[in-house]
Amino acid sequence: MGLYLARRLLAMLGVVWAMSVLIFGIIHILPGNVAYAILGEYATPQAVAILEDRLGLHDPLPLQYWHWFSALLHGDLGRSLVMDRPAGPLIFEALGHSAILAGSSFLLVAVFGILLGVHAATHRGTAVDRALTLMQLGFIAIPDFFWAILLILIFAAWLHWLPATGYAPLDGGDLLAWLSHLVLPVFVLSIGLIAHVSRLTRSSMLEALESRYVLAARAKGLPARLVLGRHALPNALLPTITILAIDAGLLIGGVVVVETVFAYPGLGRLLIFAIDHHDLPLLQAGMMVVTTIYALANLIADLGYALLDPRIRVGAHA
Amino acid sequence: MAEAAAPILAVEGLSVSYATPYARLFALDDVSLAIPRGEVLGLVGESGSGKSTVVLAALGLLGEAASVSARRAEFDGRDLLADAAALRGRRIGVVFQDPAAALNPALSIGLQVAEPMLTHQRLPRTEAYARAAALLGELGIPRVAEIMQAYPHQLSGGMKQRAMIAAALAGEPELLLLDEPTTALDVTIEAQILDLLEGLRASRGLSMLLVSHNLGIVGRLCDRLTILYAGRTVETGPTAAVLAAPRHPYTRGLLGALPRPEARARRLLPIPGALPDLRSPDPGCNFRPRCPLAVAACAEPQAMLPAGPARRVRCHRHALVADLPLLLDPVAPSRPSAAAPLVDVEGLTRGFGGPTLLRRRRTRVHAVDGMSLTIHPGEIVGLVGESGCGKSTLARLILRLLPADGGRLAFDGRPVPERPDLAFRRRAQIVLQNPDGSLNPRRTVEAILRRPLAHFGLAQGAAAGREVARLLELVRLPEAYRSRYPHQLSGGEKQRVGIARALATRPDFLVCDEAVSALDVSVQAAVLNLLQDLRDTLGVAYLFISHDIGVIAHIADTIVVMYRGHAMERGPADAVLHAPHHPYTEALLSAGAARQMRLVDTAPSGAGCRFAGACPRKLGAICDIEPPPWREASAGHRILCHIPVEQLARPGLRPGPAGARRPQTP
């Protein structure tokens, strides 16, 4: 178990480091002058010279990378060019907003994805199962921005029940306003993923239900509740955990579309802003944060495996 | 006898059918059986006979797709069809075939054994676990406290099956249903499990239903037999009487098809044809298309007729069955070959695993450790050993499908390089165990057979078409089969295609890696006969690999016994099959010797004999410390053992105590 964890942790650190090289490298390997790319092609030579100086672009690439990476390790995420403020606080504030969005969506996805999946598997072939299947396929096939626009039209423009866009800070004390701004984006973010996770849980649950060990558990005369919860579910959840880990990463890094449509001030929108305004240091720092969160989510999934699967948790010999 | 009048399980006229998309599938058709209290009934049949359906029906676990009916289905006077859910796990225990699949990989052994006590008897946790530990100990499991906390993947196959039996006994059942309980296990482990069951029957007064395809094991444990064919009972009676003088042509056929060491010079008598279509059951005798005695009257519905004391048989011609031949004429003994060896292997070694960056202390496990072997042209060398002994690895090493760590390999007098040329590949071919996995399901038989012809540039166009016809004729498949896909063939037919494919290149040497192990006995006999004929007509040499010493004894000229990567005994088949034996060979050949083998779950560490840890005839410390010498028992017959040949010639059986015998812990 300890060895397994050490290996997973080492692998995670390796991935994060490799991504840092990639994130740094892609921007610098692009043809053309980085300063011109930031300032635009009509920039004056003086402005370019000043920027190159500030970003240390005259240094050799490995040295530039080292400066950037060691600063990262010391917790210095660099400075946003456009806003002329440290990137760290900007990113973490946006990340906080995104985390609320992603976190509540993730909770919904995990709970409803697994519950609906298990329900469909145990009621295979019934009308409920068929209806769920149809809905799942629909939600997987139709992209989230379509739902976003449709829901804004219905609940904001037509019924006036919910605000169309924006964010209300909680420190104002207005819990209702805060919540009302979250409902639509959370719904849009989770619906497709719930469909996806429940599909997967259904099929792995069906496989577990048809296994010999579940037959053996039934033959022991165990009540259905134990057969399902103790014998089938732990085995059926293994593939679900993989998908949930990927989804957690997607939710943090992939909220761009939803945040844009709902004008929600999260990390996704901050990254779009950095791209639009050629704010390279902000973009790099933001991407590193997303990468690290993604890698952490996978590490947690590996932990989950170990908890559910004794073949990982304990070695091969008694 | 009063007890006999009230059987613990009585089933009359049980029928089970499934609705499938196109037609109704009749899995069981009017099946009757009865188990007197305290007795063991053997339910025998090949795949598709419906024997597992009987077990699931008795447990009420057939699922909603099945429609079940019976004139009577009673357990101790209670209606099984209504009350199965209240009886299973409590008064009826079950052990399924493959313990690796039937134990839950995510739960500890302790929980899985204690579970019925927690649920049914509502025992407190500590007491249930204490009882589970005691039960595991009773079943001969060593280091119980440790095993209780272990998970299934940490246990050997034999230990897993003991744990399964413990879980089945946890509810204190009166009836134990055993569905192929030893089929997934090695023969030596099988002997120990059967012993254990025999002991449990005596000590706990259990009644049992032993479901098996294996006539050998039911003979050891059962009082009575019921033979099932394609969903119908065809014969029932006392075990000894049924096995000695079967009255149904099918039972007779099963016995004739069974390869046995003691009748190795005789040709097997396979049952022709295949299982009937269960979607349209024959109102008459459903065995009649395969039966040598069939006459027009067999098309009439057949009843179970009395045939001797306590025997019934579903055949109106049962009086004639006794006259059917059980075995065909003796086969001509193979010509001894004086020619130079075709395959010459010396000291071949291959390991797996080993130290890695993070696991420096991990040692490389030697799957094959210094194996030497010679195979002459036209010779059949049988390689026998249990799962994990390295026989399949050896096969791959000899074909250079896997690089060797060390050793020499020569073919037809020339050393075979690490990456052999096309000529070697053409001359040395392989037939694999599972034809379902080794035939491409998207290709027709013709395409499968043309592939090697094209690859080796042997024939094209019309010539290739003629070659396909020749190959189909060789393996006795009809010409029309060339346009079929693998799923349209039966198991035996698929394996014939696998053999035809291996023969397409006109090889001199064929490795048959468990080539008949996945087949039913009646089909296996036909394939074994075919392979023997092909050797006689084509002069092909075989390395025939099997875990079943009966099959090896039947087909091989020379036998090599392998244990943990190394040969233990080698020699002409007749010599190896008769004393003196290596103690391991003795265990493979005799259940009596096998039950005295010790349970080992660790690899030997020292330089001594690999078998020392499990050996029932172990001399002492010398076996652990010193590598045993090769002893010459007779010309060409050599045994790797510290025990002198004269002593090995005497049977090593110690008189064991009656009833359950606990295996010694190492």
Rg (CA), chain A: 24
Q: What is the pLDDT of residue A183?
A: 84
The residue type at B313: V
pLDDT band at B148 (very low <50, low <70, confident <90, very high): very high
Instruction: Report the DSSP pairing between strands A85-86 and B72-75.
Output: unpaired
Interface test with B, best of A212, A231, A238, A305 (most B CBs within 10 A): A212
Q: How far apart are CA A196 and CA A190, in angstroms?
A: 10
Q: How far is CA B360 from CA A217, B47, B349, B355, in A?
A: 40, 47, 22, 5
Given an 8 Å threshold on Cβ–Cβ distance, is B154 in contact with A7? no
Residue numbers in B near A223 (CB within 8 A):
119
> Residue A3: which of B154, B171, B358 has the nearest Cβ?
B358
Both A196 and A224 in one domain: the answer is yes
Angle, in degrees to the nearest 10, between helices A175-209 and A144-151: 140
Residue numbers in B near A308 (CB within 8 A):
106
pLDDT at B4 over 80: no
Phi and psi of B88, rounded to 5°? -70, 140
| Contacts with A270 (C-beta within 8 Å, 6 or more apart), sequence order | A90, A91, A94, A282, A286
Given an 8 Å threshold on Cβ–Cβ distance, is B358 in contact with A7? yes
Domain count, chain A: 2
**ipTM, 2 dp:** 0.80
If you average pLDDT over every residue of chain A, what do you get? 85
Q: How far apart are CA B34 and CA B27, in angstroms?
A: 19
CA distance A268 to chain B (A): 39
Q: What is the pLDDT of residue B658?
A: 36
Given an 8 Å threshold on Cβ–Cβ distance, is B108 in contact with A310? yes
| Contacts with B479 (C-beta within 8 Å, 6 or more apart), sequence order | B469, B472, B473
Residue numbers in A near B143 (CB within 8 A):
318
pLDDT at A67 over 90: no
pLDDT tens figures, A265-287: 888 888 888 888 888 888 889 88
Q: What is the pLDDT of residue B355?
A: 66
Q: How far apart are CA A55 and CA A38, in angstroms?
A: 11
Task: Over range B403-423, report the average pLDDT.
Answer: 91
pLDDT at B571 over 90: yes
Most confident segment among A41-45, A175-179, B217-221, B542-546: B542-546
CA distance B576 to chain A (A): 35
Residue numbers in A near B106 (CB within 8 A):
234-235, 308-310
* CB-neighbour burial class of residue B175 (10 A; exposed 0-12, middle 13-18, buried 19+): buried
Residue where a domain stops, chosen among A22, A53, A86: A86
Q: What is the pLDDT of residue B655?
A: 43
Q: Among A107-111, B216-220, B285-289, whose mean pLDDT is lowest?
A: B216-220
Percent of chain B with pLDDT over 90: 44
Both A237 and A138 in one domain: the answer is yes
Task: Over range B526-536, report the average pLDDT.
Answer: 88
Task: Over range B589-613, report the average pLDDT.
Answer: 73
Interface check for A221 against chain B (CB to CB < 8 A): the answer is yes
> Residue B89: which of A222, A231, A314 has the nearest Cβ?
A222
Residue of B nearest to A2 (CA): B358
Residue A233 in tokens:
């579910």
Q: What is the pLDDT of residue B53?
A: 92
Helix (H) or strand (E) holding A201: helix A175-209
Both A137 and A256 in one domain: the answer is yes
Residue B37 in tokens:
């209290």
pLDDT at B76 over 80: yes
Task: Over range B569-578, report the average pLDDT.
Answer: 91
Q: What is the pLDDT of residue B659?
A: 35
Both A292 and A225 in one domain: the answer is yes
Q: Which residues pair with B382 in a beta bridge?
A: B544, B559
Interface check for B221 against chain A (CB to CB < 8 A): the answer is no
pLDDT tens figures, A49-66: 887 787 777 778 888 888
Q: Among B218-232, B358-372, B590-604, B611-625, whose mean pLDDT is lowest?
A: B590-604
pLDDT at A250 over 70: yes
Percent of chain B with pLDDT over 70: 92
Both A137 and A19 in one domain: the answer is no
pTM for the predicted model, two decimal places: 0.81
The residue type at B381: V
Interface check for A108 against chain B (CB to CB < 8 A): the answer is no
Residue numbers in A near B150 (CB within 8 A):
314, 318
Residue where a domain stops, chosen among A60, A86, A112: A86
Both A68 and A108 in one domain: the answer is no
Q: What is the pLDDT of residue B376?
A: 93
Given an 8 Å threshold on Cβ–Cβ distance, is A220 in contact with B102? no
Q: What is the pLDDT of residue B450?
A: 94
Phi and psi of B155, rounded to 5°? -105, 150
pLDDT at B163 over 60: yes
Both A191 and A214 in one domain: the answer is yes
Both A133 and A207 in one domain: the answer is yes
Q: How many CB pairs (< 8 A) connect A and B?
A: 98
Both A124 and A267 in one domain: the answer is yes
pLDDT at A23 over 80: yes
A205 alpha-carbon distance from chain centroid: 25
pLDDT tens figures, B415-461: 999 899 999 999 999 998 877 888 999 999 999 999 999 999 998 88
Task: Over range B575-584, report the average pLDDT.
Answer: 90
Residue A304, domain CATH: 1.10.3720.10
For the range B571-576, what are the long-range contacts, defined as Cβ-Cβ under 8 Å and sequence gap of 24 or more?
B571/B633, B571/B634, B571/B636, B571/B637, B571/B638, B572/B636, B572/B637, B573/B264, B573/B382, B574/B264, B575/B633, B575/B634, B575/B636, B575/B637, B576/B637
Residue A305's domain comprises 87-317
Q: Which residues pair with B431 in a beta bridge?
A: B512
pLDDT at B653 over 70: no
Residue where a domain stops, chosen among A86, A117, A149: A86
Interface check for A215 against chain B (CB to CB < 8 A): the answer is yes
Task: Over range A220-226, report the average pLDDT.
Answer: 91
Given an 8 Å threshold on Cβ–Cβ distance, is B106 in contact with A212? no
pLDDT tens figures, B466-514: 999 999 988 888 888 889 998 888 888 888 999 999 999 999 999 999 8
Q: How far is CA A232 from CA A118, A210, A238, B117, in A?
A: 10, 9, 11, 20
Q: What is the pLDDT of residue A304?
A: 83
CB A274, CB A282: distance < 8 Å:
yes
pLDDT at B652 over 70: no
Both A184 and A80 in one domain: the answer is no
Residue numbers in B near A317 (CB within 8 A):
154, 601-602
pLDDT at A89 over 50: yes
Q: What is the pLDDT of residue A317?
A: 47
Given an 8 Å threshold on Cβ–Cβ distance, is A226 in contact with B119? yes
Both A202 and A135 in one domain: the answer is yes
If you average pLDDT over every residue of chain B, what do you get? 86
Given an 8 Å threshold on Cβ–Cβ distance, is A218 in contact with B143? no
| Closest to A35 measured CA to CA, from A49, A14, A18, A21 | A49
Given an 8 Å threshold on Cβ–Cβ distance, is A218 in contact with B164? no
Q: What is the pLDDT of residue B606?
A: 65
CA distance B284 to chain A (A): 35
Both A133 and A281 in one domain: the answer is yes
CA distance B514 to chain A (A): 25
| DSSP per position, A264-276 | --SHHHHHHHHHH
Q: What is the pLDDT of residue A265?
A: 86
> Residue A212: which of B102, B108, B155 has the nearest Cβ?
B102
Q: Which residue has the tokens 């050793």?
A: B407
Task: Over range B283-298, report the average pLDDT.
Answer: 90
pLDDT at B3 over 60: no
Q: How far apart are CA B482 and CA B446, in angstroms?
A: 5
